[in-house]
Amino acid sequence: MNSIKKQLGSRIKEIRKHRGITQEQLAEMVGIGTSNISYIETGKFAPSIENFEKIVNALNVEPYELYMFNPIKSIDEMKKEIKTAIEDENVLNLIYKFYLAIKH
């Protein structure tokens, strides 16, 4: 199992890339060196509370989102995964009930 530092760093990197922000840009926004961003993203360092808050603001996310360790997927990847999942009748029934609950 990966350490939380590594998972947090990986998540920061994932969101940073998804937002089209370079390590250099994030470092400037946070007010730390690029090498420190690299160390955070590889899990060598954990950000201080102050820098964590600055990273949250720079990436325009809620703090809890940095601890959502499942990767961001493209729309096509999500569609493919859902199409595969709905082949299971139980999953299809559950998805349909959820759909009915939110469609109005």
9-63 pLDDT, tens digit per residue, is: 999 999 999 999 999 999 999 999 999 999 999 999 999 999 999 999 999 999 9
Rounded to two decimals, the pTM is: 0.67
Identify which of 3-7, 36-40, 63-67 has the greatest average pLDDT. 36-40
Task: Write the DSSP string, 1-53.
Answer: ---HHHHHHHHHHHHHHHTT--HHHHHHHHTS-HHHHHHHHHTSSPPPHHHHH
What is residue 77's three-state secondary structure? helix
Regarding the domain delimited by 4-67, which CATH topology (the fold level of the hierarchy) does it fall under?
Answer: 434 Repressor (Amino-terminal Domain) (1.10.260)
pLDDT at 1 over 80: no
pLDDT of residue 4: 92
Q: How confident is the model at residue 71 (pLDDT cuts 50, 70, 90)?
A: low
CA 51 to chain CA centroid, Å, is 17
Q: What's residue 44's pLDDT? A: 96
Mean local confidence (pLDDT), 6-10: 94
Residue extents of the structural domains in the chain: 4-67, 73-104
